[in-house]
Amino acid sequence: MAMMAYDAVSAAAFAATRHLPVEGLASWRAAVARHLPVGPGVRVLDLGAGTGAWATAFRSWYDVDVVAVEPSAAMRAHSAYPGMVAGRAEALPLAAADLDGAWLSTVVHHLPDLPAVAAELRRVLRPGAPVLVRSVFAGRGGGVTLFRWFPEALRVLDCYPSVAEVCAAFEPAGFAPVALTPVPQVSARSLKAAVDGLRRAAHTPLALLDDADYDRGLRRLRAAAERTPDAPVVDAMDLLVLR
């Protein structure tokens, strides 16, 4: 699928705007802990780790060793997480059966060969270890407020893999779905903050819009922020768990 590659511009935009407010992530902290082993000695893969925000959070929340793998040199250059590893999801530079879980956040739509990724995850994970996929899946974008202001971006979301497609891709590697849960998050402290912090290059659905559709959506968002500037932006994204 490989919807976009992160160059210096998009990586800088991602680093500047895609780190969620820590106080808005309590639901994610609880949801992940229900499925992921936690504590000293646990090793977790953050695949497509971006600029390391989730790796940093997991290490802080759960006291686990996070192996953060990111293919984009531009993203790694903006990472605050130490020891980021260069690598592709289809050929991980990791030993077999060495990890207790894998975390894939907003990355499955960038992976062109999901069955190969699933096979590689099966290789590096210990038996019974979970794969946790945080994503907006095709047909399930209703919980994301961004699409309220940029409804044309739903056409891009239609090109994302669906839950059924991800499950089918992982099945030959022996993974089966065990949970699918919408998890709420505070994506911005206010609509005004959302407008001020918006960077088109940081959001795949916006980056792939044509300019006219993006400009219309931006006008809608600005108008909403003028009406209710202090309203927090609360979204819900899916957590799909496979074992």
Tens digits of residue pLDDT in 35-55: 999 999 999 999 999 999 999
pLDDT at 174: 98
Distances in Å between the Cα of 114 and the Cα atoms of 80, 110, 166, 238, 242 are 28, 10, 7, 18, 14
Per the structure, the count of domains in the chain is 1
Specify which residues 237 forms β-bridges with: 183
Tell me, yes or no, whether 206 lies in a domain. Answer: no
Tell me, yes or no, whether 224 lies in a domain. Answer: no
Tell me, yes or no, whether 203 lies in a domain. Answer: no
Q: What residue numbers bound the domain in which 54 lies?
A: 8-143+159-186+235-242
- pTM of the full predicted structure? 0.91
pLDDT at 18: 52
**Do 55 and 46 meet the contact criterion of CB atoms below 8 Å apart?**
yes
Tell me, yes or no, whether 230 lies in a domain. Answer: no
Tens digits of residue pLDDT in 102-138: 999 999 999 999 999 999 999 999 999 999 999 999 9
- CATH code for the domain in which residue 13 is found: 3.40.50.150
Q: Which residue has the higher pLDDT, 193 or 17?
A: 193
Please state the rounded mean pLDDT for residues 214-224: 97
Please state the rounded mean pLDDT for residues 53-82: 94
